Chains A and B, each alone.
Chain A
Amino acid sequence: MKTPTWAEVEEFLEADRWEEIRDTGHRFYRKTLADGRVLETHRSFSSANTMSPGRSALILRTQLECSADAFWEAIRSKRPVPRPSALPAAPTQHPLWAVRLLRDQLHMSEAEIAAMSTDEVIRRAQEHWTSGP
């Protein structure tokens, strides 16, 4: 699956008629939908220009509220996304507390944790807790 660059995210925001707002030294984007709901997002300047399919799906799902197809079609046509749009499936997400426990106390790498299911991450964290010192 093709994933967008941050520059393409900005291109989408322009095509989808998001408002760019500079506020207290921070830049973000806002779109008010026809039903009155308010969407907001920001672009990252601190991370790499490319992104994984999982990160892309999270941005589409939680902030842009559209499918990947609708995202690319908006850029191609320079027209806003018809909403409601189908949302991409959520990628695997682990609870932060469990990730940190496995990393800091069981000395697992983030890559090892990423390869586990969420149920497994939680189970290993709970087992560690209940096993005691």
Chain B
Amino acid sequence: MSAMPAPEPPAVPTQDFTWAKAHLSDVMTAVVAGHQPHEVVRRGKEAMVLVNRDDLATALGHFTFNPTVHIEPDEATVEVPEIGVLGFGADVEAALDDALEEVRIYARRFFEKAAFYLASDRARHAPWLLRFALTPAGEQRALLEAGRRA
């Protein structure tokens, strides 16, 4: 009779919650300095993944914003189609400013009420909003206006 094969080790280090809590400094060093994601499991059921902030931002890099603009005399409307946000203004820059503020407010609201939004169809907005939220405030406008050069 052949022996049962050994279980495959997990692709990322996985720790029990109690152990991780007692060794949080080591875990954080491995995640931040070592760029090694760690999964932490509590009671064998609940799990979370710790990831270096910059690595996560890089991983989300292909979730680009591609705003469009509708222009009328003395009026512009910017749409951020990935997350259903509209910005209104008298010209393109004013509409973009308004859209930027709306995205900031939506991102804050989304992660404050994450359980609500993630249980709805709006869960699909999460990667774009997370990327936006991880971007320094001074760089968020540039992120929004970069777009994809079709």
Nearest-Cβ distance from residue A120 to partner chain B, whole angstroms: 13
CB-CB < 8 A to A42: which residues of B? 102
Binds B, one of A10-18, A67-75, A77-85, A97-105: A97-105
How many A-B pairs have beta carbons closer than 8 Å: the answer is 106
Whether A37 contacts B121 in the complex (CB less than 8 A), given A47-B90, A96-B96, comes out as yes
Interface residues on B, range: 35 or more
Whether A63 contacts B84 in the complex (CB less than 8 A), given A47-B90, A58-B79, A96-B69, comes out as yes
Interface residues on A, range: 35 or more
With beta carbons under 8 angstroms apart, the residue of A24, A46, A55 that contacts B72 is: A55
In angstroms, Cα B117 to Cα A26, docked, is 18
List residues 99-148 of chain B with CB under 8 A from any CB of chain A: 102, 105-106, 108-109, 112, 117, 120-122, 145-148
CB-CB < 8 A to A58: which residues of B? 70, 77, 79, 86
Is B92 positioned at the interface, with any CB of A under 8 Å from its CB?
A: yes
Is A95 positioned at the interface, with any CB of B under 8 Å from its CB?
A: yes
Interchain CB contact under 8 A, A103 and B86: no
Interchain CB contact under 8 A, A93 and B68: yes
User: Which residue on A lies nearest to B122, using beta carbons?
Assistant: A38
Nearest-Cβ distance from residue A24 to partner chain B, whole angstroms: 6
Nearest-Cβ distance from residue B146 to partner chain A, whole angstroms: 7
Is A127 positioned at the interface, with any CB of B under 8 Å from its CB?
A: no
CB-CB < 8 A to A48: which residues of B? 74-75, 90
CB-CB < 8 A to A114: which residues of B? 71-73
Interchain CB contact under 8 A, A99 and B120: no
With beta carbons under 8 angstroms apart, the residue of A47, A59, A92, A103 that contacts B75 is: A47
Q: Assuming A38-B117, A55-B75, A58-B77, what are 20 further A-B pairs, CB within 8 angstroms?
A: A24-B109, A26-B105, A38-B122, A40-B106, A48-B75, A52-B72, A54-B72, A58-B70, A58-B86, A63-B86, A93-B79, A94-B69, A95-B67, A96-B67, A96-B68, A96-B145, A99-B69, A99-B71, A100-B92, A110-B76
Top 10 A-B pairs, shortest CB-CB distance = A114-B71, A93-B68, A52-B72, A97-B147, A44-B88, A96-B67, A38-B120, A47-B88, A37-B121, A55-B77
